[in-house]
Amino acid sequence: MKDAKNKENFEKDFEENLENKKNKESSEESKKSKENLENLQNSEISEEDVEKLKKEIRERISDDEEVEEEEEEKFSPEEMAQEIQQIETEKELEEYLDDNHSIDVAESFEKLKDDELIRIFELMSDENKAGILEQADEELQTRIIDLLSDEEAIDILGYMSPDDVADILGFIDIQKSKSILNKMKRSQANKIRELLGYEEDTAGGIMTTQYIAFKGNLEVKDVMKKLKDIAPRTEVIETIFVTSKKKELIGEVDLRDILISSDDTKLVDIMDDNPKYVYVEQDQEEVARLVSRYDLKVVPVTNHKKIILGIITIDDIIDVIQEENTEDILKLGGVSEEEEIYSSFWFSVKQRLPWLVINLGTAFLASFVIKLFSGTVEKVVILSSIMTIISGMGGNAGTQALSVTIRALALGEVDFKDTIGIIAKTFLVGAINGALLGLLCGAIIWAFCGNFYMGLIVFLAMVGNLVIACMIGFLIPITLKAMKIDPAMASAVVLTTATDCFGFLIFLSLATVFLNKLV
């Protein structure tokens, strides 16, 4: 009995302990869940704060960028020149040069007087002087070289690439140039003289002699050792040229391929054996087209034995493209590429007057054509006002064809084998545009004059003149190119003469034929 009662008490105590334990665990879990919830809520609040902080940072960065842009915009060369004039110490000047690009500083130097320019130059290191001189325009370069002694000039030029030095010595006073070359180290002077011997607008004239070339049997480990010594003295290290035992160009290797190759790999095993190159006497326009077509960053220049003489870098090609485009635009306008906006009065007169005289001659020729039909014009006076429309539209259509053709020639896109097909296409373009414009203009003239035949004459003359204008706009530059004459030089004058003369001739001839219907 006692045992049964003990057993019953034991079971009761066990159940109470078990229930208490469950309640305790439940309480702890509840408490833990509550803490987690509070942490989660705190986490959500923290994320909101972070988002707000991010937004504030973005706004501050945006404001700073706007301030920087405003500051960059407000500094003109004149203002920079005034700031530079306030600089008194080498340290101040060095900090200023670090904060501003050398090309902007070079532009500001143009505003300085000679004495101030000398004072600032004395505070600069030769390397910084070279950076400014390299970015300066020709006029400032000449000023600086003239202000320096030969020895000072040589020290500065020593920090520049040979092609840039050759460019500077090529247009300064010839006596000054000879004096500097004679005082240079013989090896340096010989490189410069070699570059000066090439025509200015050829591959040789724009190349630099600083490049890296190794023989094909050289291993990567030896290449890396040599690169460490050569790299500081060359302009381009991303492309290494590979030569044969006879020093002939046989390939090129990217620096990246060298870095990822094993030490015992030979250059001949990883090189591109079909490198693009140009001959030293090739025109710079041809070089620019080659670089553009194959997306080259550097192109080697060789003689006809394929021995490397130098390289042309992309920055020189950009200068060539800009120079050639400017030259063509100026020639189309009958202006010499030597003239600038700040050229002297007398120089501009001398450069422009010859082309104006030629245009005057063509104007007399057009006037002579009109005189041949003076009897017709006297009987129908309104013809004098209408015929200018015909010649004007012909000039516009011809200029369109001329511009497209000259651009295609400049880019090397014209294949003379396709000339017949292009002529047919040009004829159709002129005929269709002439017909549409002729219908429009003829209808207006018919409504204005009340004479159907006047509108018909305008229609036929418009078609004829636009066909001729488009054909001339294409054929003239093609013909001049075949004769090795610059198409941009004379095309515009010939086109103007042709469209005026043929426009008047066609229109007035038709008016003479239909004279009885017009009076």
Angle (deg, nearest 10), helices 383-410 and 487-513? 150
Between 60 and 511, the more confident residue is 511
Q: What confidence tens digit (pLDDT) does each residue in 456-506 have? A: 999 999 999 999 999 998 988 888 888 877 776 667 777 888 888 888 999
Is the separation of the CB atoms in 468 and 393 below 8 Å? no
Is the separation of the CB atoms in 421 and 474 below 8 Å? no
Quote the CA–CA distance of 485 and 9 in Å, as a whole number.
124
**451 pLDDT above the threshold of 60:** yes
**139 pLDDT above the threshold of 80:** yes
Quote the CA–CA distance of 468 and 423 in Å, as a whole number.
11
Quote the CA–CA distance of 118 and 15 in Å, as a whole number.
104
Quote the CA–CA distance of 280 and 234 in Å, as a whole number.
20
Two tokens at 461? 């003359």
**55 pLDDT above the threshold of 70:** no
Report the pLDDT value the prediction gives residue 58, as an integer from 0 to 100. Answer: 62
Q: What confidence tens digit (pLDDT) does each residue in 244-280 have? A: 988 899 999 999 999 999 999 999 999 999 999 999 9
What's the one-letter identity of residue 114? D
Region of poorest pLDDT, from 264-268, 429-433, 515-519: 515-519
Quote the CA–CA distance of 406 and 87 in Å, as a whole number.
50
Region of poorest pLDDT, from 67-76, 130-139, 222-231: 67-76
Report the pLDDT value the prediction gives residue 337, as an integer from 0 to 100. Answer: 61
Residue with the two structure tokens 């394929």: 306
Q: What confidence tens digit (pLDDT) does each residue in 32-45 have? A: 444 544 444 444 44
- Reported in sequence order, the residue ranges of 92-208 that DSSP labels E, i.e. its strands, are none
Quote the CA–CA distance of 247 and 477 in Å, as a whole number.
42
Q: Give the neighbor-by-neighbor strand order of the sheet with 249-254.
A: 213-215, 239-243, 249-254
Quote the CA–CA distance of 240 and 226 in Å, as a whole number.
12
Quote the CA–CA distance of 492 and 299 in Å, as a whole number.
35
Specify the long-range contacts of residues 412-419, CB closer than 8 Å, at least 24 apart.
412/286, 412/289, 414/478, 414/481, 416/478, 416/482, 419/478
Quick one: average pLDDT of 204-230?
89
Summary mean pLDDT of the chain: 81
Quote the CA–CA distance of 249 and 272 in Å, as a whole number.
11
Q: What confidence tens digit (pLDDT) does each residue in 81-136 have? A: 888 888 888 888 888 888 888 888 888 888 888 889 889 888 888 888 888 898 88
pTM of the model: 0.60
Angle (deg, nearest 10), helices 452-482 and 487-513? 150
Quick one: average pLDDT of 313-335?
75
What's the one-letter identity of residue 124? M
For the chain, the residue count is: 519
Which band of pLDDT confidence, cut at 50, 70 and 90, is reported for residue 22? very low
DSSP assignment of 248-311: BEEEEEEHHHHHTS-TT-BHHHHSBSS---EETTSBHHHHHHHHHHHT-SEEEEE-TT-BEEEE
Quote the CA–CA distance of 59 and 56 in Å, as a whole number.
5
